[in-house]
Amino acid sequence: MVHLPRIMLAAPSSGSGKTMITCGILQALMDRGLSPASFKCGPDYIDPMFHTKVIGAKSRNLDTFFTDPKLTRYLFAKTASQSGIAVLEGVMGMYDGLGGVSASASSYELAAVTDTPVILVVNAKGMSLSAVPLIQGYIDYQKKLGKQVIRGVILNQTTKMTYQMLKPVIEEQTGTRLYGYVPRLPECAIESRHLGLVLPDEIGGLKQTLGRLGRALEECLDLDGMTALAEEAPDYGEEETKMPPQIERFAGIGNGVRIAVAMDEAFCFYYEDNLELLELLGARIEPFSPLHDGRLPEGAGGLILGGGYPELYAEGLSANKNMISQIRTAVGQNMPYLAECGGFMYLHEEMEDMDGISWPMCGCIKGRSFKTPKLGRFGYITLRAKEEKEQLLLKGEEIRGHEFHYFDSTQPGEDFTAEKPAGRRHWDCIHAGRTSAAGYPHLYYWSNVNFAARFVQSAAEYKS
């Protein structure tokens, strides 16, 4: 058996303070020398970046829409087994899942699948006794879904006096333990922008702020009780930590081929497990900056342009003519490539910035990427190839992902069909070829290992 101490921080809604409190707890655990691992429920890219700043190691996403229960447990176990304790941060409200009317792919489902005890973060600002029925309702509702995972509560945005008054009442009337409170900490607030929180590297003095936050939570939370709760989580079987057969049969096929991956201020949205999968398949990840570098990494056999904020750096990207020329040449010579959202925008002939000014870009995709007044596509999608032709995704296969963008394209592509998991709304997207795929969707490679294996193998063939 494999012992994996773990807890999840979930909440009744977004804006309850999960990310700030999760970062503070991670910092406090680091200060105690416990070497925590961190995970984010759902497809969010930015919250894991804050986790990473705290623990100094890559935070991972876990998502039960992207992967089935067995694979989800494996992805969790392979990272958690290298740490002293794992902390999972929930997404939205605890039961908010697919289509807003299902608990599938919710924080609750992830906690149930991974057998992780949940501590509910309740924003108690302006609330006293009313916290009792709120907490009781969340406890009762989980019984309808089959597994009881809530094991405790933290009251956020409240005072020590109010907490001391409410603690015995809540524990007696709900039967649930309170693990402390968090007062108002305006000096630890994190700024937001159109895709969520600002990026960690944009915040001056972040490490000092996180240090203060960790010390504050050490004072007002029962961290001893929380680590004891984490120790109570059920053990995993040895087989759950072993590489799945669908990965094992492709292991090493890339034979060390270098994949150039855009990583800088403009391109920073990546699932760490996606990159690790490419490495398991035999690829070597070579980071580069389309914003600052003049050349692609030497000897690259493939190219990945991820999502991020290219619209904030459009002038600088456009001015880097050497890199634009390098990418245009590589794509023109059929180097295998994947481009998602911001990376897809960068490949256009023109891309608008946040002020609606168009800038010349790589010109690999005919047309223009432009700003829209509202969120265009949002949420989970399943992608299927439309045509019976040789490409990374074959007809009859599917790969899962999500979209979240305020920009659109005059040429969004039409080789794949994207379908919402609830409501059956669908549309065409993606420019796909035998060795490439480019479009707005963010793909999760573990949802179709064949797709990732074909990309790595095509990069190895291109290089040889």
User: What residues are annotated to the active site?
Assistant: 341
Give the strand pairing for 377-385 and 416-419.
antiparallel
Containing 307, the helix (H) or strand (E) segment is strand 307-308
Which token pair is 247?
Answer: 């990965």
Which token pair is 390?
Answer: 């040789």
Residues 40, 205: contact at Cβ < 8 Å?
A: no
Orientation of helix 160-174 relative to helix 131-145, angle to 10°: 40
Q: CB-side exposure of 42: number of CA atoms within 13 Å?
A: 25
Task: Give backbone dihedrals phi and psi of 156, rounded to 5 degrees, phi first.
Answer: -100, 155
HEC-encoded secondary structure of 357-424 = CEEECCCCEEEEEEECCCCCEEEEEEEEECCCCCCCCCCCCEEEEEEEECEEECCCECCEEEECCCCC
Which token pair is 241?
Answer: 């930590």
Q: CB-side exposure of 253: number of CA atoms within 13 Å?
A: 20
Residue from 413, 78, 442, 428 nearest 269 by CA: 442
Residues 315, 269: contact at Cβ < 8 Å?
A: no
Return contacts of 416-419, CB within 8 angstroms, 24+ apart: 416/383, 416/384, 416/385, 416/386, 417/383, 417/384, 417/386, 418/381, 418/382, 418/383, 419/381, 419/382, 419/383, 419/384
Q: How far apart are CA 182 and CA 460, in angstroms?
A: 52
Q: State the CB neighbour count (10 A cutoff) for residue 453.
A: 24
Q: CB-side exposure of 397: number of CA atoms within 13 Å?
A: 16
